[in-house]
Amino acid sequence: MLQFFKYVLATFVGIILFIFLSFFILAGIGSLFSSEEKVVLNDKSILKLDLNKPIQEVGVENPFADLGGFFQGNENVAGLKDIIEALKNAQTDDKVKGIYLKTENPEAGWATLEEIRNQLLEFKKSKKFIVTYGESYSEKGYYIASLADKIYLNPAGGMEWNGLSAEYSFFKGTFDKLDIKPLVFRVGEFKSAIEMFSRADMSEASKKQSIELITAINNNFLKNISASRKIPVETLKGLADSLAVENPKSALKYQFVTNLGYQDELEAYLKKELKVEEKKDISYVGVDKYLKGDSKIDDGDFNKRIGVLVAEGEITSGDGGDDNIGSEKFVKELKKIRENDKIKAVVIRINSPGGSALASDVMWREIKLTAKKKPVIASMSDVAASGGYYLAMGCDTIVAQPNTITGSIGIFGLIFNVTDFMNNKLGITFDGVGTSPHADWPTATREMTDFEKATIQKSVNEGYDTFTKKAAEGRKMSVEKLKSLAQGRVWSGVEAKENGLVDVLGGVDDAIKIAAKAAKLSEGDYRVRYYPEKKKPFDELVSKVMNDEEEKASAKTLGELAPYVKMYKKLMNMGGMQTRMPFEMVIR
């Protein structure tokens, strides 16, 4: 027995020592992060803008991104806010002579690319150069590259020019194999989110709205490329239809690119432009490092601020996480902004396909309370649909990009009957008692009665009426007209403006200017602050490690059951009433 206690004590001491050692190591790493040196630029610097990575509203910087091993998968996520800020600073920075674009295949939505493209066009007013080199260009990549002064394409590379397409995933076959039965309640002809569970292909209504949506996005895409490359829109359409731009030589022939060449040839051109000796390296600086320099544009009055509250991801109740919008966390943040007298106006920056109807309504209420005290402007990013539109409709003014995906004013209820799945796949059965016939309702572990189903459909109908009534009130139009634009249908920003669902076409800067004007603030006399505040690199690292360890522990405990349990949790999160975009859309 004594020997047993000795082993237990030794193990306990070992654990304590490990915890203390881990703490000091992490604290040491944290101190390194907090003492970063200021970046000093070369007098002939080039801002290197790498868009071939995930881009979200606010970036995530991981100092170990390139180390691999234990830190594999911890890549940097570029922040749209940081990219725009860097481009603005570089425009007036004498040390920055131009921009080198890496934009072969950006991992971003069309509205995000629109924001970046528009800021690059502003940069060009400085008469500084923009160059780009690519081994190949996707259509998204070329959308940005098309405005460059020099567009280099690898002679052995390729270029995508065949029009835009939208692709959807359908899981009916998967659910059939897993013995999961989705029970759907909806309002609206176009509220086709449930089709991914109940069909193997698109309905006619879904096809109708989808083709109109991508046509509107494609028209904006072609119009802007036409302006940059001086190629008529009809010519661009014809080249896509005929697949005429099939290789680098044809890309050069039709003036899509200015040069066929390798990266060293582009660098030789840059050295000549910069008057840099052939043996010397070009001084490139990335966005993250550049923003640590001393060339930032001066801030305005600290006591006069525009607060930009970022709402990015799916909408859920509670605190949420890094990749979704938790209503509780959103409400707390907005309440602090509302009660801060130094913040004179608010921009709600929305990039969300929607989610929980209840959570959307809770956040809408907080937006309306804030709008009573100070101006609140909505700025739509890639997607502001369904629950995302629910947030926007509570604002004084709605600003969207031409290629924003918005609307989808509708609601649906989704409950999964997992009885056969749990029984046949996991061997789990259910039984129980209750004080009334419906005590366990709504339930996922038995077949519901027609009465119970009708009761849920009634709630969905009431939720739709609430959504459309509040939307009509916010847009100052009749409920009848609003309902004619609703039914779960999605619109591009251009279409939404034509129909009165959006007020202004533009980006987040336009929304900030509208907010400042509404708060009677002069240009240059105020500061812009983003909320929630960006996490420090050390905090990001700790959060990432903790999440990874939690997932590994779950997988170790559950073994082969882990994938099934993960799917079960995901399905349960989609249960209940949803204000969610009608499909998972991939436009390429």
Helix H or strand E segment including 413: strand 411-417
Q: How far apart are the first and last CA of the chain?
A: 68
Q: Which two tokens stand for residue 464?
A: 């739709």
**Catalytic site residue from 386, 408, 483, 497:** 386
d(CA 406, CA 389): 7
d(CA 322, CA 544): 10
Q: Is 126 a catalytic residue?
A: no
Q: Is 191 a catalytic residue?
A: yes
d(CA 236, CA 246): 13
For 465-474, the CB contacts below 8 A with 24+ separation are: 466/361, 467/357, 467/390, 467/409, 467/410, 467/411, 467/579, 468/409, 470/364, 470/390, 470/393, 470/394, 471/389, 471/390, 471/393, 471/409, 474/393, 474/394, 474/395
Angle between helices 327-339 and 357-371 (to 10 degrees): 0
Burial 551-586 (b: 16+ CB within 10 A, else e): eeeeeeeeeeeeeeeeebeebeebebbbbbbbbebe
Q: Where are the beta strands (DSSP E) in 4-147?
A: 45-50, 55-56, 78-79, 96-102, 129-137
Q: Residues 70, 104: contact at Cβ < 8 Å?
A: no
Burial 507-537 (b: 16+ CB within 10 A, else e): bbbbbbbbbbebbebeeeebbbbbbeebeeb
577 bridge partner residues: 413
The backbone region for 41, taken as left when phi is positive above 0, alpha when psi lies in -120 to 50, beta otherwise, is beta
Helix H or strand E segment including 504: strand 504-505
d(CA 220, CA 241): 17
**Catalytic site residue from 191, 344, 374, 470:** 191
Residues near 405 by Cβ (< 8 Å), separated by ≥ 6? 111, 213, 382, 383, 384, 385, 490, 491, 492, 581, 585
Q: Which two tokens stand for residue 522?
A: 């002069």
186 bridge partner residues: 412
- Which sequence positions are flagged as catalytic? 191, 386
